[in-house]
Structure 1
Amino acid sequence: MNNIEDNKRNQINDIVSAVKLSSLLFAGIGIFKCFSIESSKIVQNMIPMYMIISAILVLALIYFIWAFSTTKKFNLKRIKRIQLIENSIFIIIFSIIIFRSGAYASEYKFLFLFIIITTTIQSGMKHGIIIATISSAIILTMDIVYAPKAPINQYFENDLILVGVFLLTAWPLGFYVKVESDYIKKLQSLVNEDGLTGVYNHRFFHDSLREKIISCEEENKPISMIFIDIDYFKYYNDLYGHQQGDEVLKTIGTILKNSVNKEDIVARYGGEEFAVILPDTNEEDAVNIAESIRSKIESTYFKGEENQPNGKLTVSIGISIYPDKAKSDIELIKSADDALYRAKFFNKNRVETYTSILDELKNDIDEKHIDLVTSIKTLISVINAKDRYTYGHVERVVTYSRLLADKLKLNERDKKDLIYGAYMHDIGKINISKEILNKKMPLSNEEWEILKQHPLNGVEIIKPVKSLQNISHLILHHHERYDGKGYPDNLKGEDIPFLARVLTVVDSFDAMTSNRPYNKRKTYEEAIEELRACSGTQFDPAIAETFIEVIMESKDRFDKKYFY
Structure 2
Amino acid sequence: MHRRRSYLYSFIICLAGLGLFIFQTEPQILHLSSSGWGWVTAMSGAAVLLTVFTFQLPPQGNGLSLDSSIYLACIFIFGAPSALLVLLLSSIVLLFIEWGTTPLWKHLSNFAVYSIMITSAAFIFSWFGGRQGPLLSSHLAAYLCAMAIYFILNLLLVGFFYYIVFRENLYTTLKEMLTDAVLAYLCTLVLSLVLTVLLFYNGITGLALFLGLSVLISYSFKRLFSMYRDIEERANRDQRTGLFNHSYFEAALEEEMRKSQASGSVLSLAMIDIDDFKKYNDHFGHLKGDGLIVFLAELLKRETGATNIIVSRYGGEEFTLLMPGYDAVTARQFIENLRKTLNNSIFEGSEIFPQGCLAFSAGVAGYQPDVHFKSELVDHADQALYYAKKQGKNMVHVYGNQSLLERDIDFSQDVRDIEQQLNLFMYKDLETFKHSKRVFRYAMDISELLALDNLSKRQFTLGALIHDIGKLEIPWGILNKKDKLSPEEWEMVKWHVTWGKEMALTNDKYKDLAPYIELHHERYDGKGYPYGFKGEEIPRLCRMLTIIDSFDAMTTERPYQPTKSFAEAIVELRACAGSQFDPELTELFIGYIEARELRSSDAAM
TM bracket, shorter-chain basis? 0.3 to 0.5
- What is the TM-score when the length of structure 1 is the normalising length? 0.45
Larger radius of gyration: 1
